[in-house]
Chain A
Amino acid sequence: MIARALALVLSLVLLAPVASAQGFAGLGTDAGEGFTRPERGQPLVFPRDHGPHPDYRIEWWYLTATLTGEDGRAYGIQWTLFRSALEPRRTTGWDSPQIWMGHAALTTPGRHFVAERLARDGIGQAGVTAEPFKAWIDDWRMTGTSGTADALDRVRLTARGVEFSYDLDLAAEGPLVAQGDEGYSVKSASGQASWYYSQPFYRVSGTLELPDGPVRVTGQAWLDREWSSQPLDPDQTGWDWISLVFDDGARLMGFRLRDRSGGGYTSGTWIAPDGTPTPLAPNALRFTPLRIARVAGRDVPVDWRIELPGRALDVTLTALNDAAWMATLTPYWEGPVAITGSHAGRGYLEMTGYDP
Chain B
Amino acid sequence: MTGAALSALWGHWRRHPGQSLTLVLGLALATALWSGVQAINAEARASYDRAAAALGQNDLDTLGASDGRLFDQSAYVDLRRAGWLVSPALEGRLRVGERSVTLRGLDPLTAPLAANPVDLSDPGDLAPFLRGEVGYLHPETLATLDPTLLPLRVAPALRLPLGVLIVDIGAAQRLLDQPGRVSHLLVWPNQPRGLPALDAVAPDLVRRAPQARADVASLTDSFHLNLTAFGFLAFAVGLFIVHSAIGLAFEQRRTTFRTLRALGLPAGRLVGLLAAEVTLLALLAGGIGLGLGALVAALLLPDVAATLRGLYGAEVTGALTLRPAWALAGLGLALAGAFAAAAQGLWRVLRLPVLAPAQPRAWLRASDRGLVVQAAMAALLLILAGIIALTATGLIAAFVLLACLLLGAALALPPLLSGLLALAARRTRSVLGQWVLADTRQQVPGLGLALMALMLALAANIGVGTMVSSFRMTFTGWLDQRLASEFYVTGRTQDEADAIRALLAPQALAVLPIWRAAQPLAGAPGEVYAVADHPTYRDNWPLLRAGPQVWDRVADGTGLLINEQLWRRSGLQLGDRLDLPGWSAPVVGVYSDYGNPKGQVMLSPDRFTALYPDAPRLGMAVRIAPEAIPALRAAISDRFGLPDALMIDQAAVKRFSLGVFERTFAVSGALNVLTLGVAGFALLTSFLTLAAMRLPQLAPIWALGLTRARLARIELARAAILAALTALYALPVGLAMAWTLLAVVNVEAFGWRLPMFLFPGQWAVLGALALGAALLAAVWPVRRLARTPPADLLKVFAHDR
Direct contact of A and B (CB under 8 A): yes
> Which positions in A face B, CB cutoff 8 Å?
12-16, 18, 23, 26-27, 86, 93-95, 97, 99, 115, 118-120, 123-125, 136, 138-139, 160-165, 209
- Asked whether, in the complex, the Cβ of A139 is within 8 Å of the Cβ of B123, the reply is no
Contact of B131 among A86, A93, A118, A124 (CB under 8 A): A86
3 nearest A-B pairs in the assembled complex, by CB-CB distance: A94-B170, A139-B83, A16-B121
Contact of A123 among B77, B113, B190, B191 (CB under 8 A): B77
| Chain B hits for A27, CB < 8 A | 123
| Chain A hits for B145, CB < 8 A | none
- Asked whether, in the complex, the Cβ of B81 is within 8 Å of the Cβ of A94, the reply is no
- Asked whether, in the complex, the Cβ of A86 is within 8 Å of the Cβ of B130, the reply is yes
What 0/1 readout, one digit per residue, does chain B (641-677) give for beta carbons within 8 Å of chain A? Answer: 0000000000000000000000000000000000000
- Asked whether, in the complex, the Cβ of A125 is within 8 Å of the Cβ of B193, the reply is no
Contact of A165 among B73, B126, B194 (CB under 8 A): B194
Closest to A86 in B: B127
Instruction: Quote the shortest CB–CB distance from A319 to chain B (angstroms).
Output: 26
Closest to A138 in B: B80
- Asked whether, in the complex, the Cβ of B81 is within 8 Å of the Cβ of A15, the reply is no
| Chain A hits for B80, CB < 8 A | 119, 125, 138-139
Q: Given A120-B107, A162-B191, A209-B194, check contact A138 B81 (CB 8 Å).
A: yes
Please name 5 pairs of A and B residues whose Cβ atoms are closer than 8 Å in the assembled complex, sorted by A: A94-B169, A120-B110, A164-B193, A165-B193, A209-B193
B82 within 8 A of A: yes
CA distance A86 to B170 in the complex (A): 16
What 0/1 readout, one digit per residue, does chain B (665-691) give for beta carbons within 8 Å of chain A? Answer: 000000000000000000000000000
What 0/1 readout, one digit per residue, does chain B (53-95) give for beta carbons within 8 Å of chain A? Answer: 0000000000000000000011011001111010000000000
Instruction: Quote the shortest CB–CB distance from A10 to chain B (angstroms).
Output: 10
- Asked whether, in the complex, the Cβ of B123 is within 8 Å of the Cβ of A160, the reply is no
CA distance A68 to B501 in the complex (A): 76
- Asked whether, in the complex, the Cβ of B121 is within 8 Å of the Cβ of A15, the reply is yes
What 0/1 readout, one digit per residue, does chain B (160-197) give for beta carbons within 8 Å of chain A? Answer: 00000000111001000001100000000011111000
- Asked whether, in the complex, the Cβ of A94 is within 8 Å of the Cβ of B123, the reply is no
Closest to A165 in B: B194
Closest to A16 in B: B121
B495 within 8 A of A: no
* Contacts between chains A and B (CB distance < 8 A), count: 85
B109 within 8 A of A: yes
- Asked whether, in the complex, the Cβ of A118 is within 8 Å of the Cβ of B194, the reply is no
- Asked whether, in the complex, the Cβ of A120 is within 8 Å of the Cβ of B192, the reply is no
| Chain A hits for B73, CB < 8 A | 123
Contacts beyond the supplied A94-B168, A123-B76, A136-B81: 14 A-B pairs with Cβ under 8 Å:
A13-B121, A16-B113, A16-B119, A16-B121, A94-B132, A97-B127, A99-B130, A118-B109, A119-B110, A124-B81, A138-B85, A139-B82, A161-B192, A165-B194
- Asked whether, in the complex, the Cβ of A95 is within 8 Å of the Cβ of B193, the reply is no
- Asked whether, in the complex, the Cβ of A15 is within 8 Å of the Cβ of B108, the reply is yes
CA distance A14 to B132 in the complex (A): 19
Instruction: Quote the shortest CB–CB distance from B106 to chain A (angstroms).
Output: 11
Most central of B74, B77, B109 by chain A CB within 10 Å: B109
Most central of A26, A95, A136 by chain B CB within 10 Å: A95
Instruction: Quote the shortest CB–CB distance from A50 to chain B (angstroms).
Output: 21
Instruction: Quote the shortest CB–CB distance from B118 to chain A (angstroms).
Output: 10
| Chain B hits for A95, CB < 8 A | 131-132, 170
CA distance A306 to B403 in the complex (A): 78
CA distance A118 to B126 in the complex (A): 14
B628 within 8 A of A: no
- Asked whether, in the complex, the Cβ of A26 is within 8 Å of the Cβ of B123, the reply is yes
- Asked whether, in the complex, the Cβ of B170 is within 8 Å of the Cβ of A13, the reply is no
B120 within 8 A of A: yes
- Asked whether, in the complex, the Cβ of A162 is within 8 Å of the Cβ of B190, the reply is yes
| Chain B hits for A119, CB < 8 A | 80, 109-110
Most central of B126, B169, B170, B192 by chain A CB within 10 Å: B192
| Chain A hits for B77, CB < 8 A | 123-125
Closest to A13 in B: B123
- Asked whether, in the complex, the Cβ of A18 is within 8 Å of the Cβ of B109, the reply is no
CA distance A160 to B193 in the complex (A): 8
| Chain A hits for B194, CB < 8 A | 160, 165, 209
Please report whether the interface of chain A is mostly helix, strand, loop or mixed according to DSSP: loop
CA distance A119 to B127 in the complex (A): 14
Instruction: Quote the shortest CB–CB distance from A96 to chain B (angstroms).
Output: 9
| Chain A hits for B193, CB < 8 A | 160, 162-165, 209
- Asked whether, in the complex, the Cβ of A160 is within 8 Å of the Cβ of B170, the reply is no
Instruction: Quote the shortest CB–CB distance from A269 to chain B (angstroms).
Output: 33
| Chain A hits for B131, CB < 8 A | 86, 95, 97
- Asked whether, in the complex, the Cβ of B170 is within 8 Å of the Cβ of A18, the reply is no
- Asked whether, in the complex, the Cβ of A12 is within 8 Å of the Cβ of B81, the reply is no
Closest to B79 in A: A138
Contact of B110 among A118, A162, A164 (CB under 8 A): A118
Contact of B126 among A15, A93, A160, A164 (CB under 8 A): A15
Instruction: Quote the shortest CB–CB distance from A107 to chain B (angstroms).
Output: 18
CA distance A66 to B131 in the complex (A): 41
| Chain B hits for A13, CB < 8 A | 121, 123, 126
| Chain A hits for B107, CB < 8 A | 94, 120
Most central of A23, A27, A94, A120 by chain B CB within 10 Å: A94
What 0/1 readout, one digit per residue, does chain B (270-284) give for beta carbons within 8 Å of chain A? Answer: 000000000000000
Most central of B170, B173, B179, B194 by chain A CB within 10 Å: B170
Instruction: Quote the shortest CB–CB distance from A103 to chain B (angstroms).
Output: 14
Instruction: Quote the shortest CB–CB distance from B83 to chain A (angstroms).
Output: 4
Closest to A163 in B: B193
CA distance A14 to B127 in the complex (A): 12
Closest to A28 in B: B123
CA distance A115 to B113 in the complex (A): 16
- Asked whether, in the complex, the Cβ of B81 is within 8 Å of the Cβ of A97, the reply is no
Contact of A160 among B76, B121, B192 (CB under 8 A): B192
Instruction: Quote the shortest CB–CB distance from A323 to chain B (angstroms).
Output: 20
Instruction: Quote the shortest CB–CB distance from B236 to chain A (angstroms).
Output: 46
Contact of A15 among B109, B173, B179, B191 (CB under 8 A): B109
CA distance A26 to B169 in the complex (A): 27
CA distance A161 to B83 in the complex (A): 9
| Chain B hits for A139, CB < 8 A | 80-83
| Chain A hits for B170, CB < 8 A | 93-95
| Chain A hits for B192, CB < 8 A | 115, 160-162, 165
Chain B contacts with A in 126-178, Cβ cutoff 8 A: 126-127, 130-132, 168-170, 173
CA distance A23 to B74 in the complex (A): 34
Most central of B74, B126, B169 by chain A CB within 10 Å: B126
CA distance A276 to B782 in the complex (A): 113
Instruction: Quote the shortest CB–CB distance from A112 to chain B (angstroms).
Output: 17
Instruction: Quote the shortest CB–CB distance from B567 to chain A (angstroms).
Output: 46
CA distance A124 to B82 in the complex (A): 12
CA distance A93 to B131 in the complex (A): 11
Instruction: Quote the shortest CB–CB distance from A301 to chain B (angstroms).
Output: 30
| Chain B hits for A124, CB < 8 A | 74, 77, 81
| Chain A hits for B74, CB < 8 A | 124
| Chain B hits for A94, CB < 8 A | 107, 130, 132, 168-170, 173
CA distance A27 to B127 in the complex (A): 11
| Chain A hits for B180, CB < 8 A | 93
Instruction: Quote the shortest CB–CB distance from A77 to chain B (angstroms).
Output: 15
CA distance A178 to B753 in the complex (A): 82
CA distance A27 to B173 in the complex (A): 29
CA distance A26 to B193 in the complex (A): 39
CA distance A164 to B109 in the complex (A): 22
Instruction: Quote the shortest CB–CB distance from B144 to chain A (angstroms).
Output: 29
CA distance A136 to B77 in the complex (A): 12
Instruction: Quote the shortest CB–CB distance from B767 to chain A (angstroms).
Output: 62
Chain B contacts with A in 408-424, Cβ cutoff 8 A: none
CA distance A11 to B109 in the complex (A): 11
- Asked whether, in the complex, the Cβ of A125 is within 8 Å of the Cβ of B81, the reply is yes
Closest to A10 in B: B123
CA distance A18 to B119 in the complex (A): 11
| Chain B hits for A97, CB < 8 A | 127, 130-131
| Chain B hits for A115, CB < 8 A | 192
